[in-house]
Structure 1
Amino acid sequence: MNAPSTDLNPKRLALLLAALIATAPFAIDTYLPAIPAMAADFGASTHAVEVSISTFLIGFALGQLVGGPISDRIGRRPIALTGLVIYVITSAIITGVESSFSLNIMRFLQAIGGGFALVVVGASVRDLYDGKEAARMFALIAVIMLIAPLVAPTVGSALLVWFNWQAIFILLVVYGSAMLLLVWFKMPETTKYRPRYAGPARRIWWTYLGVLRTRKAVGFMLTHTGASAVMFSFLTDSPFMYIDFFGVSPAVFPYLFGCNVIVIVICNRLNNPLLRRLECHQILIIAAGIQLAAVICLFLAINVFEPTLYTVVPFVMVAVGMIGLTAPNATASFMQYFPHIGGTATALMGSIQFATGAFAGMLIGHFHDGTLLPVTISMLGFAIFANLMVNFVAEPKQPEATYDFNAPTPSDTGAKPVSAE
């Protein structure tokens, strides 16, 4: 369905939501090139600082888990504003930390604020759109949002060359402050277009159980989780993979990293033409299969043959790039099941996604042995998991009877009618 109000410009809303969700990739990707420098400054190992990526992902998951159901009850804007305030304050404090332990604590708190801000994005889209329209909106948001991870490492490298790693977090303070003003003056409250949660406040958390009991929808959530964990596995170990293992300079690292984002954008732009011919779940099955094939090739190239940058980078690009197809279609298929608790559904999906990414990062760090075997095993395991979920658990929600005017009536088929949203 279309947006229920003519005063909502879909492209303008997509731009705003994409800028809001970009607080996450900016907070993660901008400081990746600075991790070795931060480790040297703290007198710690590179992996000790890389743990802050996993710490951030855990906080991000928790922020969404708490913020999602609250946004269903009190609205999207208050949660987004609260999250941005936390994000700005903690980013400022990080500029003064002097150890990897203090960094991890503040990154955790920073991520909670980021989780509050991010969780309202998917919920806002679900407030306004269904089905393929939601998938198109998610794809539009994603392609705009992907500008952030494309430029973030380059910006981080430039700041590192001209200033120091603290300048990166000053940039996050500036960006978070700008988003705070933008949300305050421009973001609409989308819950007015759908009924808010009207039950007792003490029961709002039980809505998570309702989501988890919807097995077919959970299949899409876990598909998205597995496919994303492939990306997070690479993301966590990418500084070691490219800078330490292959000897790439920090100045070149952003370009190799940016190659992945370019493929994500290309896949994302292919999504709309594909939606004219295929359903969301069909695209998801194809994309997950391609990702698995790329990860298998990557695993063999690194662990069976002699690994080189020229063989590894293309397979990483395809494996990570498939997120451009898996993310919007898995999200749209999942959210289709939950029209009235979009915040809760988004929170659960996001929290499990980022918590799994953090778990993958911690496993890679724990089993790190100076080779790329741990990261490739992690990527392979999660790619297999995603394919099992999408092929054997996930099942798309049937179209609502009121939207298909050419379909037989419930009395003709004997089926129980689905209530209109």
Structure 2
Amino acid sequence: MSLRTTASAATGHEPVAAVGPPGPGPAVDSAATAQFRPNAKYVLMLGLMCALPAVSTDMYLPSLPDVARDLGTSATAAQLTMTAMLIGGAVGQLVIGPLSDRFGRRKPVLIGVVLHVITSLLCAIAPAIVPLIALRTVQGFFNASATVVAMAIIRDRFVGADASRLMSRLMLVIGVAPLFAPSLGGVIAGQWGWRSVFVALAGFGVVLWVVVWRRLPETLPPERRRQGGLRTAVSGYRSLLRDRHFVALAILPGLGMAVLMSYVVASPFVLREGYGLSATEFSLLFAVNGIGLVLGAQVNASLVRRVAPIRIVRVVLPVSLGLTGVLLALALTGWGGLIALLVVLWLILALVNFVPPNASALALTRHGEIAGTAAAVIGSMQAGVAGLVSPLSGLLGGDAVAMAAVMVGASVAGLLVLALATPAYRRDGAWAV
């Protein structure tokens, strides 16, 4: 359905339409009746918040082989420092989401970013792989505050296609992480060692804290905050988990992220050790693939103006499955060599950002009254599923075949969830989710 709202003339902002599927409770609550087109500074701020986990991952990524050598551990154990941050982020979002519904949006993110800075500095002096894994888990827990609050803020002000479009625009900011963070992290580690990367992450956290403190408005007024403690939070999660369509839509971003993280975690070993690329060549290829991620997100942002988000998802998922199947065949046969592998991989990554913003926006639209808790479920599933799936490539051998096989599995799971748990492929089912 389509609901149009009118902004106050005093705001000076252009009103936009709120488009979204029906769900339990009101599709658009009173807080979302005055929606505005965000300016570039607003998008940049939210993008920096969402990018904190990505920066924490991508700046550190080129150092994985060095971490394994320096700490005398295996490649699989080094990869666990990536997985640990994702799992910590999943748990952190489940805790911080309800807190943002209770205490507002500003306090949780300001406290979380400060603790991210402290944890980053502790990672820089970790004496062994086990403490580093533990600290990365804690780091993921605290920097989850920035992501879950950014998602909740989007739902506070936008719904449906407008929310999906804003999330896609954020990918332009988030996409800077894979474009520049690995190269920057490689340079920093090359000059001062991998531990200095965590000092740089602490510095990024300080900058983000200042930006949020100065620029982030409170979007959840006291009269709309949920009262109560643990029981209230549990009741919120219970209502979300009873909504089968919400759960299905919330899982889809995680499975999409699993495809991406399978590449992110395995690529240093596949490309550097399997194909003999140098650190500079790897960083360049990583940046080229990052361009694909950004372009895909921007195409989705434009496409969603004319096409319903669920219709985009139900087309993209089968196409992604076909491409991952081709990637697996290339990895098994070696046909076309590295060039063919990279071309298909680029196309897969270009499609990755079509699913999360659309599925997340549709899921959030169903439960705007507990946006922080809903965003926490989506974010935790995204981080948790990706965290559990991505290390499988290392366990399966860490080569191109293992990476592609994990991508195929995640793509199959995503298509099955959409087909079996939502009416997306049924007649007149496009808006029934």
TM-score norm. by structure 2 comes to: 0.87
Distance in 2 between residues matched to 1:158 and 1:120, nearest whole Å = 31
Q: What is the correspondence of 1:109-258 to structure 2 with a 5 Å cutoff? A: 109-192=138-221, 195-198=224-227, 201-258=230-287
- Structure-1 residue corresponding to 2:363: 334
Give 2:318's match in structure 1, choosing from 274, 281, 289: 289
Distance in 2 between residues matched to 1:179 and 1:194, nearest whole Å = 28
Q: Deviations over 1:49-90 (max 9, x none)?
A: 111011111101111011001111111111101110110001
Seen in structure 2, the aligned counterparts of structure 1 residues 4 and 35 have a Cα distance that, compared at 3 Å, is farther
Offset at 1:199? 5.2
Distance in 2 between residues matched to 1:201 and 1:378, nearest whole Å = 37
Give 1:33's match in structure 2, choosing from 56, 62, 72: 62
**Comparing 150-159 with 216-225, which one deviates more in the overlay?**
216-225
Distance in 2 between residues matched to 1:4 and 1:342, nearest whole Å = 21
Distance in 2 between residues matched to 1:14 and 1:395, nearest whole Å = 32
Give 1:362's match in structure 2, choosing from 361, 380, 391: 391
Distance in 1 between residues matched to 2:145 and 2:414, nearest whole Å = 26
Q: What is the correspondence of 1:269-284 to structure 2 with a 5 Å cutoff? A: 269-284=298-313
3-state SS, counterpart of residue 391 of structure 2: helix
3-state SS, counterpart of residue 252 of structure 1: helix
Count of residue pairs the alignment pairs up: 399
Residues 217 and 394, structure 1, Cα contact 8 Å, conserved in 2: no
Distance in 1 between residues matched to 2:268 and 2:297, nearest whole Å = 25
Distance in 2 between residues matched to 1:367 and 1:159, nearest whole Å = 31
Seen in structure 2, the aligned counterparts of structure 1 residues 3 and 270 have a Cα distance that, compared at 3 Å, is farther
- Structure-1 residue corresponding to 2:401: 373
Seen in structure 2, the aligned counterparts of structure 1 residues 279 and 42 have a Cα distance that, compared at 3 Å, is same
Offset at 1:19? 0.8
The answer on 1:392 being equivalent to 2:409 is no
In percent, how many aligned pairs have the same letter?
29
Residues 69 and 205, structure 1, Cα contact 8 Å, conserved in 2: no
The answer on 1:45 being equivalent to 2:88 is no
Residues 252 and 356, structure 2, Cα contact 8 Å, conserved in 1: no
Residues 127 and 194, structure 1, Cα contact 8 Å, conserved in 2: no
- Structure-1 residue corresponding to 2:411: 383
Residues 104 and 222, structure 2, Cα contact 8 Å, conserved in 1: no
Structure 2 stretches lacking a partner, 5+ long: 13-35
Distance in 2 between residues matched to 1:183 and 1:168, nearest whole Å = 23
Distance in 2 between residues matched to 1:31 and 1:196, nearest whole Å = 37
AA of the residue aligned to 1:192:
P
Q: RMSD of the TM alignment (CA)?
A: 2.2
Residues 185 and 197, structure 2, Cα contact 8 Å, conserved in 1: yes
AA of the residue aligned to 2:110:
L
Distance in 2 between residues matched to 1:373 and 1:170, nearest whole Å = 35
Distance in 1 between residues matched to 2:187 and 2:202, nearest whole Å = 17
Offset at 1:285? 1.4
Residues 18 and 142, structure 1, Cα contact 8 Å, conserved in 2: yes
Distance in 1 between residues matched to 2:430 and 2:418, nearest whole Å = 16
Distance in 1 between residues matched to 2:173 and 2:334, nearest whole Å = 38
Residues 218 and 394, structure 1, Cα contact 8 Å, conserved in 2: no
TM-score norm. by structure 1 comes to: 0.89
Distance in 1 between residues matched to 2:336 and 2:75, nearest whole Å = 22
Give 1:345's match in structure 2, choosing from 356, 374, 378: 374
